[in-house]
Structure 1
Amino acid sequence: MSDRQTGTVKWFNVEKGFGFIIPDDARDDIFVHHTGIEQEGFRRLDEGQLVEFSVTNSERGLIAQKVTTLS
């Protein structure tokens, strides 16, 4: 799975550097780690923020990569 998808940030813990995205296609929530966010400086996402991302599959489930904000 490498096609770009869109979704909404469900929550993101700035202190721990991870959270979850609700994909627009209504599948299961997708894990996002701060290292998967493409932005300068401090990487963070805000609850309710619209994002675009690629998805990779890991042993623990789906992970969002190359995350960019749309809002």
Structure 2
Amino acid sequence: MKTGTVKHWNRQRGFGFIRTDQGEEFFAHATCLMLARDFLDVGEAVIFETEPSERGGERAINVELAG
């Protein structure tokens, strides 16, 4: 599991980006949230896993709030 902070979230489009403490950034889609809501707020601490993205690189999956 990786840990990070929500850098950006677009509620209308249902996606955003998570930045780890190491400076890595991962795309996250609302369908990958393990929450009772379909959005994240900027600044929230999260834990997540990654998987290869169709566009190259990796994306965040199984995203949960930390703590």
TM-score, normalised to structure 2, is: 0.89
Pick from 28, 44, 57 the counterpart of residue 49 of structure 1. 44
Residue 35 of structure 2: aligned partner: 39
Q: Percent identity?
A: 39
What is the CA distance between 1:59 and its match in structure 2?
3.2
Query: Deviations along 1:28-63, whole A, 9 cap, x unmatched?
Result: x100000010012x3110001100000111231211
Structure 1 gaps, min length 5: none
SS of residue matched to 1:16: coil
Structure 2 gaps, min length 5: none
How many correspondences in the alignment?
A: 66
Letter in 1 for 2:51: T
Give the superposed CA RMSD.
1.2
TM-score, normalised to structure 1, is: 0.84
Letter in 2 for 1:52: I
